[in-house]
């Protein structure tokens, strides 16, 4: 694929990720001054755009450094604030500029190498924090996968909003959520799980020659092996791959996948024991399937990680 974008270096991508992790996806010009080269890259690439200015400055007298709200002088009409001794005119207006991430431009760069059904016209959700790119075709994968790009999911409130969105707009198959947030925040928060959705940090699948675009081949490999940091239990969004203490267990049937996803979700949520009947109902099993041993009949390793006793079941970790 021919690239027409300038490369985003690691420092600029890290800055973008840090801004993405904030509640509003914004940064002040004063803060950008500490990352001048990286900030200029993002601005020049159109990924970070000016969105007005803040009404707060730092008090300049007596070295107070106290955040102060700007007002208008009743006589001169000039902006400033009343200091401890006299009126202080506000002169450094450029420092008050506020820059916001342009999610549409960022999304365009992130999916530039992917074949997406909504490549040029993504659907925004949650005030633009989530972009829906429809379905994507990946190398060496027969079925297409759903694709969302999201920011701000490190905040529990935003993640819960995404959970509700996923309930209202369920995925027909596996849906990938490419997260722009910082990698450490991503790992800390996404121990949570949403059935049918796999959360992937952009840094894990980025094409380093481009700096921000997802590399299709690396994304496919990530789906086959899971993230580098898995913890004691990791499960793919569709339940097809379960890793317990580093050992992989693959499941192919749709009903088995649903059962595995539910068991992993229960373990990750801190309430590992769930009713067998609930799993069989959610997986839409036939009346003849009354136990998990019936559902997983023929699978060579399911009994190593799944336990069933009476009417309850759980992951053996």
Residue 160 has pLDDT above 70, yes or no: yes
- Mean pLDDT over 226-250 rounds to 85
Q: How large a percentage of the chain has pLDDT more than 70?
A: 82
Integer-rounded Cα Rg, in Å, for the chain is: 24
Structure tokens, 166: 């996923």
The neighbouring-strand residues paired with 178 are 149, 200
pLDDT in the model for residue 83? 61
What is the fold of 230-317? Arc Repressor Mutant, subunit A (1.10.10)
Rounded CA-CA distance 252/20 in Å is 36
Q: Where are the domains of the chain?
A: 10-101, 102-229, 230-317
Structure tokens, 110: 């992130």
DSSP annotation string for 242-298:
EEETTEEEE--SHHHHHHHHHHHHHHHTT---EEHHHHHHHTT--TT--SHHHHTTT
Q: What is the pTM of this model?
A: 0.77
The residue count of the chain comes to: 317
Contacts of 34 (CB under 8 A, 6+ apart): none
Rounded CA-CA distance 219/176 in Å is 10
Torsion-angle region of residue 194: left (phi > 0), alpha (psi -120 to 50) or beta?
Answer: beta
Rounded CA-CA distance 222/176 in Å is 11
pLDDT, tens digit (0-9, with 9 covering 90-100), for 23-36: 889 898 878 888 88
pLDDT range class, residue 77, cuts 50, 70, 90: low
Give the best-scoring range by mean pLDDT among 87-96, 103-112, 229-238.
103-112
pLDDT range class, residue 300, cuts 50, 70, 90: confident
């Amino acid at each position: 694929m021919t690239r027409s974008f300038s490369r985003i270096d690691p420092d600029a991508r890290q800055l973008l990720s840090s801004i993405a992790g904030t509640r509003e996806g914004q940064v002040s010009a004063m803060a950008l001054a500490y990352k001048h080269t990286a900030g200029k890259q993002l601005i020049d690439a159109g990924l970070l755009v000016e969105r007005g200015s803040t009404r707060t400055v730092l008090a300049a007298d007596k070295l107070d450094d106290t955040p102060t709200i700007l007002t208008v002088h009743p006589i001169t009409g000039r902006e400033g604030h009343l200091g401890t001794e006299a009126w202080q005119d506000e002169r450094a207006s450029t420092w008050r500029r506020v820059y916001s991430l342009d999610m549409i431009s960022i999304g365009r760069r992130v999916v530039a190498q992917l074949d997406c059904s909504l490549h040029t016209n993504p659907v925004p959700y949650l005030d633009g924090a989530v972009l829906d790119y429809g379905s994507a075709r990946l190398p060496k994968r027969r079925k297409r996968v759903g694709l969302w790009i999201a920011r701000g999911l490190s905040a529990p409130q935003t993640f819960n909003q995404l959970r509700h969105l996923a309930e209202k707009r369920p995925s027909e198959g596996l849906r990938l959520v490419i997260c722009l947030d910082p990698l450490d925040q991503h790992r800390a928060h996404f121990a949570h799980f949403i059935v049918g959705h796999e959360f992937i940090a952009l840094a894990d699948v980025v094409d380093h020659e481009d700096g921000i675009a997802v590399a299709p081949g690396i994304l496919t490999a990530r789906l086959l092996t899971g993230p580098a940091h898995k913890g004691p239990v990791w499960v793919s969004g569709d339940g097809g791959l379960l890793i317990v203490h580093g050992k992989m267990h693959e499941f192919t049937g749709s009903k088995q996948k649903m059962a595995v996803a539910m068991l992993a979700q229960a373990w990750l949520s801190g309430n590992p024991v769930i009713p067998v009947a609930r799993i069989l109902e959610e997986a839409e099993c036939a009346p003849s399937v009354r136990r998990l041993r019936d559902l997983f009949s023929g699978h060579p390793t399911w009994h190593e990680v799944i336990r069933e006793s009476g009417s309850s079941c759980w992951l053996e970790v």
